[in-house]
């Protein structure tokens, strides 16, 4: 009973059956008699036998592994991952496990030459792409992936003609809710922080929601209150300083992400302005910090659990040949303290 690294052949010898029968028994094939199957499975358990994944994978051309590719436009020095994406990780891992898949993670610079390799090398059956980045660079890579018949799911809005499938929250609706909330509270001059170009579809969609809410309120969205800012705290900070330096008046800020919102709050506070009395602030994401800063940040929550599970279900669907549609989930406005009211 004591074999060092048992193979299915060892189990077969122990059970007095052929190796093929062991293989069938362990995969619960109906072709093998129940009594035989149970006996074999017991022996496998007793000997700590586990099917060699490399051998099985080589035969079946499957790895039962999903590669999670996180990319970020951050500078390579710091290996800190955007906490917003990190919070999805647990859900992704768990739902992958429940469907019988392992999760391989990889951090990539957006500029890296990624990664047809994961699937081509049979390390993963499919990819989940997570990150905010420049859509134009991004898109080229997606096309290359699609060309290579790689299966992948993108976290992000379904952009017209974009290769592959995606899953995201309804960013426009989120932007609308955030802005309407501010408007309903009587705020008149709402600054928008984020990139509005089509290079960043999620931010652009949030901006669309912002505009839409203004129009519905009979206001045309003020152009001088739109500040380009990247998804970094320091950029949120700078954006506010710019606005202040220009002497533009504003009584609210809608930041495209919580990270920017927090930078913005700090800048406001550093300049002696009270949040929310002088300036109300809304973020987007509801990342872990949001509830803990002072004042607690009102924000648009994306349900990370739904996101993680949706992404995994879809990629597994793609892998297993089921039809998959890109889809959107509805975000919720989480009202805390940063808008007063």
Partner DNA sequence: CTGAAAGCGCTTACAG
Q: What is the DSSP string of 41-75?
A: HHHHHHTT----HHHHHHHHT---EEEEEEEESS-
* Minimum CB–partner distance for residue 84 and a copy of itself (Å): 12
Of DNA, a copy of itself, none, which one does residue 97 interact with (CB within 5 to 8 Å by kind)?
A: a copy of itself
Nearer to a copy of itself, 39 or 305 (CB): 305
Query: Which of these, 265, 100, 293, lies nearest to 191 by C-alpha position?
Result: 265
* Minimum CB–partner distance for residue 46 and DNA (Å): 15
Q: Binding DNA by CB under 7 A: which of 46, 55, 274, 320?
A: 55
Q: Binding a copy of itself by CB under 8 A: which of 246, 294, 322, 327?
A: 294
Of a copy of itself, DNA, none, which one does residue 32 interact with (CB within 5 to 8 Å by kind)?
A: DNA
Q: Any bridge partners for residue 334, and if so which?
A: 299
How far is it, in rounded angstroms, from Cα 151 to Cα 303? 24
How far is it, in rounded angstroms, from Cα 48 to Cα 209? 56
Which residues in 160-179 contact DNA (CB under 7 A)? Answer: none
Q: Which residue has the tokens 């890296």?
A: 112
> Where do the DSSP E strands lie in 143-189?
152-155, 165-169
Q: Count of residues binding a copy of itself (CB under 8 A)?
A: 48
Q: Are 68 and 130 in contact (CB under 8 A)?
A: yes
* Minimum CB–partner distance for residue 97 and a copy of itself (Å): 7
Which residues in 243-262 contact a copy of itself (CB under 8 A)? Answer: 262
Q: Binding a copy of itself by CB under 8 A: which of 3, 89, 158, 248?
A: 89
Task: Identify the burial level of 326 via C-beta atoms within 10 angstroms of its C-beta, where 0-12 means exposed, 13-18 middle and 19 or more buried.
Answer: middle
The reply on whether position 322 binds a copy of itself by CB under 8 A is no
Cis peptide before 129 (omega within 30 of 0): no
Nearer to a copy of itself, 183 or 297 (CB): 297
Residues that bind a copy of itself (CB under 8 A): 4-5, 48-55, 57-58, 63, 65, 79-81, 83, 86-87, 89-91, 93-94, 97, 102-107, 116-117, 120-123, 148-149, 262, 288-289, 292-294, 305, 308
């Amino acid at each position: 009973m004591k074999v060092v690294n048992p193979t299915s052949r060892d189990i077969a010898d122990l059970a007095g059956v052929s190796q093929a029968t062991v293989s069938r028994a362990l995969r619960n094939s109906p072709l093998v008699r129940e009594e035989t199957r149970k006996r074999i499975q017991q022996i496998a358990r007793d000997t700590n036998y586990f099917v060699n994944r490399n051998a099985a994978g080589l035969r079946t051309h499957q790895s039962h592994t999903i590669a999670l590719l996180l990319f970020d436009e951050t500078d390579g020095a710091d290996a800190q991952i955007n906490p917003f994406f990190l919070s999805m990780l647990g859900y992704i891992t768990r739902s992958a496990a429940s469907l019988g898949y392992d999760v391989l993670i990889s951090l990539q610079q957006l500029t890296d030459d990624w990664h047809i390799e994961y699937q081509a090398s049979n390390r993963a059956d499919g990819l989940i792409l997570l990150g905010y980045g420049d859509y134009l660079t991004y898109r080229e890579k997606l096309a290359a992936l699609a060309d290579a018949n790689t299966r992948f799911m993108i976290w992000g809005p379904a952009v017209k003609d974009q290769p592959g499938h995606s899953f995201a929250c309804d960013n426009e609706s989120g932007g609308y809710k955030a802005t309407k909330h501010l408007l309903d509270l009587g705020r008149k001059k709402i600054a928008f922080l984020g990139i509005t170009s089509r290079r960043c579809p999620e931010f652009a969609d949030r901006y669309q929601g912002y505009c839409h809410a203004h129009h519905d309120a009979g206001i045309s969205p003020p152009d001088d209150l739109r500040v380009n800012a990247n998804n970094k705290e320091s950029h949120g900070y700078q954006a506010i300083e710019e606005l202040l330096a220009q002497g533009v008046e504003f009584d609210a800020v809608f930041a495209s992400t919580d990270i920017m919102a927090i930078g913005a709050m700090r800048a406001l506070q550093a300049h002696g302005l009270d949040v929310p009395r002088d300036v109300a602030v809304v973020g987007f994401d509801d990342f872990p910090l949001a509830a803990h800063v002072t004042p607690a940040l009102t924000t648009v929550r994306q349900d990370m659990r739904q996101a993680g599970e949706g992404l995994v279900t879809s990629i597994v669907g793609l892998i297993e040949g089921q039809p998959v549609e890109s889809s959107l989930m509805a975000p919720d406005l989480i009202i805390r303290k940063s808008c007063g009211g």
